[in-house]
Copies of this chain bind each other. A is one copy, B any other.
Amino acid sequence: MLIVMNHEATDEQIEAVVKKIRDHGLDVNVSRGVERTIIGAVGEERKLEPEMFDPMPGVDYSMHIVKPYKIVAREWHKADTVIDIKGVKLGGPQIQVIGGPCSVETQEQMDLSAQFVAEAGCRLMRGGAFKPRTSPYAFQGKGVEGLDMFRRAADKFRLPIVTELMDVRMLDTFLEYGVDVIQIGTRNMQNFDLLKEVGRISTPVILKRGMSATISEWLMAAEYIAAGGNHNIIFCERGIRTFETAYRNVLDVTAIPMLKKETHLPVIIDPSHAGGKAWMVPALSRAAVAAGADGLLIEMHPNPCEAWCDADQALSPAELKNLMATLRGVATAIGRSA
């Protein structure tokens, strides 16, 4: 923690800051510069917060020097974490594509989806039983019935299933149905009570980035889960909110190398929600893999035009198959497989 005094700070004001740091059990380093005196707190600085010093007389501003996250940080855990999902390894040399429809609609739609997903070469399947919809009047998902349809369809093709948990009261049901990967959606990235609950179990969690969450906030949200004991966390970038209106979100591809540097946990990309249009998905998927993503979350539908939600962003079975072929080429070019 550093406290930067303003250039007119008096000795008494400097002393008061020094005393406050010492009262918290840390040592102090004072550097008197030409324009500013800077006071450094030496020791376990995570005990201190800038807000403890900013309102003190003579203080210009203060800031942390060390990162606020620990368990998820690569700084303290050098090796890549590889998460094993019923034998499918995420975070290693092989890139995993998780395909499936936006929402569970009917048993037939799920059966067909599972078949096409498996045929395209995907090793994991996605599908939403509980849907976060902007409008209360829109289709809200099939609920528990949908979980059941999903489980049946995926089991036929031995595909582990990924589905979103919105309500903390549904966690037990998710465990009953043996959901293989629990997805925490964009709007719940800082739903701290939900994070604490999934921190208590060991099921892998895909933590989607909040619409305008910083990398630091996102890592701290993961730290909530990790602090509870669940270290099986997968980051999923799904486009951020910016000023641009020509597409739904901006896929933040820069987040990939940054996360790979800051954390040892796997990073995947959702190109379907990022661009919001099916025709953009191949370009964004290739970019994500080329930038180092460990996996992709891709929406497909046996018949996109008839999808009950996000019809404009689902790939057709044929498009998914073609995409998988191209991704293998890109993966090879960077020394990985897909």
CB of A36 within 8 A of CB of B52, answer no
Instruction: Confirm or deny: A318 has a beta carbon within 8 angstroms of a beta carbon on chain B.
Output: no
Distance from A275 Cβ to chain B, minimum over Cβ atoms (Å): 6
Known: A44-B34, A168-B167. A286 touches B55 (CB 8 A): no
Distance from A40 Cβ to chain B, minimum over Cβ atoms (Å): 5
CB of B312 within 8 A of CB of A283, answer no
**Which residues of chain B come closer than 8 Å to A49, judged between CB atoms?**
138, 311
Instruction: Confirm or deny: A88 has a beta carbon within 8 angstroms of a beta carbon on chain B.
Output: no
CB of B55 within 8 A of CB of A304, answer yes
**Which residues of chain B come closer than 8 Å to A304, judged between CB atoms?**
55
- Please provide the chain A residues from 1 to 57 with a CB less than 8 Å away from any CB of chain B in the complex: 2, 4, 6-7, 29, 31-36, 38, 40, 42-46, 49-52, 54-56
- Count the copies: 4
CB of B291 within 8 A of CB of A287, answer yes
Q: How far is the CA of A287 from the CA of B167 in the complex (A)?
A: 36
- Please provide the chain A residues from 182 to 236 with a CB less than 8 Å away from any CB of chain B in the complex: 187-188, 190-193, 196, 210-212, 214-217, 220, 223-224, 227
Quick one: which of A40, A224, A243, A288 has the most chain B CB within 10 A? A243
CB of A253 within 8 A of CB of B287, answer yes
Binds B, one of A107-115, A151-159, A330-338: A330-338
Binds B, one of A118-126, A128-136, A172-180: A128-136
Binds B, one of A79-87, A89-97, A244-252: A244-252
CB of A258 within 8 A of CB of B252, answer no
CB of B242 within 8 A of CB of A215, answer no
Distance from A1 Cβ to chain B, minimum over Cβ atoms (Å): 9
Q: How far is the CA of A33 from the CA of B138 in the complex (A)?
A: 22
Q: How far is the CA of A132 from the CA of B193 in the complex (A)?
A: 9
Interface of chain A: mostly helix, strand, loop or mixed: mixed
Known: A242-B250, A244-B252, A334-B330. A133 touches B283 (CB 8 A): no
CB of B29 within 8 A of CB of A311, answer no
Instruction: Confirm or deny: A277 has a beta carbon within 8 angstroms of a beta carbon on chain B.
Output: yes
Q: How far is the CA of A40 from the CA of B53 in the complex (A)?
A: 20
**Quick one: which of B51, B132, B212, B333 contacts A190, CB cutoff 8 A?**
B132
**Quick one: which of B45, B137, B247, B258 contacts A254, CB cutoff 8 A?**
B247
**Which residues of chain B come closer than 8 Å to A137, judged between CB atoms?**
46, 68, 227
**Which residues of chain B come closer than 8 Å to A252, judged between CB atoms?**
242, 244, 250
Distance from A115 Cβ to chain B, minimum over Cβ atoms (Å): 22
CB of A169 within 8 A of CB of B166, answer no
Known: A29-B31, A34-B44, A46-B137. A254 touches B284 (CB 8 A): yes
Query: Which 7 pairs show the lowest CB-CB distances between chains A and B?
Result: A329-B333, A290-B290, A212-B212, A286-B290, A29-B31, A287-B291, A187-B190
Residue ranges of A at the interface with B (Cβ–Cβ < 8 Å): 2, 4, 6-7, 29, 31-36, 38, 40, 42-46, 49-52, 54-56, 65-66, 68, 75, 132-138, 166-169, 187-188, 190-193, 196, 210-212, 214-217, 220, 223-224, 227, 239-247, 249-254, 256-258, 261, 274-275, 277-280, 283-284, 286-292, 304-305, 307, 309-313, 326, 329-330, 332-334
